[in-house]
Amino acid sequence: MSKNVQIMINKPFWLTKSSLGFEQSRQFPQLDSKETVDICVVGGGLIGNFIAYWLSEMGISVVLLEKDLLASGSSGRNTGFILPGTVEHFNRSMTLHGKEKALAIWKFTERNFDQMLGIIKDESIDCDLQENGSLIVASSKQEDIELKESFVHLSASGIQVDLLTSSELEKKFKSDQFFGALKTKVGAGIQPVKLVNALSKILSSRNIKIYENSPVLDICEYESNSLQIVTEGGTVDCAMAVLATNAYTSQVISGFDDLIFPFQGQAFVTEPFPSSIFDEVVYANYGFEYWRQLRDGRLMIGGFREKDGQKGEGFSTEVNSELIHGLYDYFYQLFPKVERVPISHAWSGTMGFSKDGLPIVGNTKMPHCFVCGGFTGHGLGFASAIGELTAQVMVNGKGDASELFHISRFDGG
Ligand SMILES: Cc1cc2nc3c(=O)[nH]c(=O)nc-3n(C[C@H](O)[C@H](O)[C@H](O)COP(=O)(O)OP(=O)(O)OC[C@H]3O[C@@H](n4cnc5c(N)ncnc54)[C@H](O)[C@@H]3O)c2cc1C
């Protein structure tokens, strides 16, 4: 039935005129000269922009180089959730990392949330912020048990969370498909490209030079304590560099194939739906599927990575229309009373999954070249705080909670 639903535009919605008011296009020149700065940031997504933001707060001179356009990577292709925690439910995070570390990671993401919203408000950034918390819904009895276990540990640690029963969810959504839910106070939806563009304007006003269409081709240890970053049109001489290239890190520097690997994610948005159904951003089926409703009523839905088998691995950003149609059907099966509206835009993006599901911050085999990546589908949940942490690690050798994400955890295998 959904095969009849036409996908109107194969383009990430956030980058289009319908969402931005203009088509995202080049805002900064290509590098065609030699620059000399303290630090070169490679990658013009959310993370590169936040790292540059925090470095500039410390008075460091920075050049930012982007291969294509700002936000042309995953930062312009996500669904815009700022969530607490990691890709795993909290009970699983405790099993994987131990309770103390799992809690420290959760608190780090809560700090990120406060920091991001603080910057958005202080800098008067219009990025369509919808600040209504998140709902993690259970798609099976087992998932409900795990969410209840997560609730017990989180609330005992003073984290603001609530449980919703299946009948409360049935009343809220007119759907009997959910077994329960964990509601977190922390959680919001944004238009991520508006945020990237606004950050880049702040950087420009601080005399940070940004270059687009300037792929980094090589990084040379130029002298004992400096680097030369090479692009086709020019070079940047710097004391340090940081790769904010997430999924693409292994294309820029060797040694990262097993640490950060590319994984494709699919998403779509519908035409505006006339009534309000979802306030919170919603994460379902262990986070494999997720949806939200935008201010204008559009329903934005992502996921089905698990239906893609091995094919999801790799750098392709081709839309998989079979998965998009499957996702559309999946959504309306969950909400049979919701009238179907056509898909307006569908797209895919390349996420950078790390070996252990946690971000990776630290130096590469070149001591002055750092990396910050591997967000495993949760980059917005870390963006500002991990940008600040990376700036601290580069400048001071360590930062608040740097042990949580330091690359040295992989030393020795
Ligand atoms: C469908 C989908 C839905 C998602 N939903 C969410 C969500 O709701 N919430 C959430 O937290 N996360 C979500 N994510 C993940 C999120 O988008 C990422 O974690 C986040 O954008 C990572 O930001 P980044 O800046 O590290 O990476 P990117 O945005 O990918 O930026 C890396 C940049 O590096 C540039 N680059 C690469 N190579 C070079 C080079 N040689 N020289 C110069 N530049 C280079 C790229 O062009 C790119 O712009 C989703 C992802 C997808 C695909």
pLDDT digits (tens, 9 = 90+) for 195-225: 999 999 999 999 999 999 999 999 999 776 7
Compute, in angstroms, the gap from residue 377 CA to the centroid of ligand 1.
9
| Residue 8 binned pLDDT confidence (cut-offs 50, 70, 90) | low
For the segment 91-101, what is each residue's pLDDT rounded down to a tens digit?
999 999 999 99
pLDDT, position 318: 86
In this predicted structure, the answer to whether residue 75 has a pLDDT above a threshold of 90 is yes
Distance (Å, whole) CA 256 – CA 240: 19
**Whether the CB of 377 sits within 6 Å of ligand 1:** yes
Q: How far is CA 304 from the centre of its chain?
A: 17
Q: Whose CA is nearest to atom 22 of ligand 1?
A: 379
Q: How confident is residue 413, by pLDDT bands cut at 50, 70 and 90? A: very low
Average pLDDT over residues 345-373: 96
- The CB of 327 under 6 Å from ligand 1? The reply is no
Q: What is the mean pLDDT of residues 43-61?
A: 98
Confidence of residue 347 (pLDDT cuts 50, 70, 90): very high
Are 243 and 73 a contacting pair, CB within 8 Å?
no
105 pocket-lining for ligand 1 (C-beta < 6 Å):
no
Q: Which residue CA neighbors atom 16 of ligand 1 most closely?
A: 379
Residue with tokens 């494999």: 288
- The yes-or-no verdict on residue 320 having pLDDT over 80 is yes
* Confidence (pLDDT) at 307: 81
Instruction: Indicate if the pLDDT at residue 17 is higher than 50.
Output: yes
- 369 pLDDT more than 90: yes
- Between the CA of 138 and the centroid of ligand 1 the distance, in Å, is 27
Q: Does residue 68 line the site of ligand 1, with CB under 6 A?
A: yes
Closest listed residue to residue 239, CA positions, set 92, 60, 3: 60
Closest CA to 5 of 332, 348, 336, 317: 332
Model confidence band, residue 402 (pLDDT cutoffs 50, 70, 90): confident
CA of 326 to the centre of ligand 1 (A): 24
Residue 206 identity: R
- What backbone phi and psi angles, to 5 degrees, belong to 49? -65, -40
Asked if pLDDT for residue 105 goes beyond 70, the answer is yes
Ligand 1 mean position, distance from CA 74 (Å): 3
Read off the pTM.
0.97
**Ligand 1 pocket residue status of 346, Cβ below 6 Å:** no
**Distance from C-alpha of 281 to C-alpha of 306, rounded to nearest angstrom:** 20
What pLDDT was estimated at residue 310?
59
Task: State mean pLDDT over 17-37.
Answer: 97
Q: Is the pLDDT of residue 88 over 60?
A: yes
Q: Is 5 in the pocket of ligand 1 (CB under 6 A)?
A: no
**Torsion sign over Cα 108, 109, 111, 115:** positive
Please give the pLDDT value at position 5: 65
Average pLDDT, the chain: 94
Per-residue pLDDT averaged across 227-236, rounded?
97
Task: Identify the residue whose C-alpha is closest to ligand 1 atom 2.
Answer: 78
Say yes or no to pLDDT of 311 above 90. Answer: no
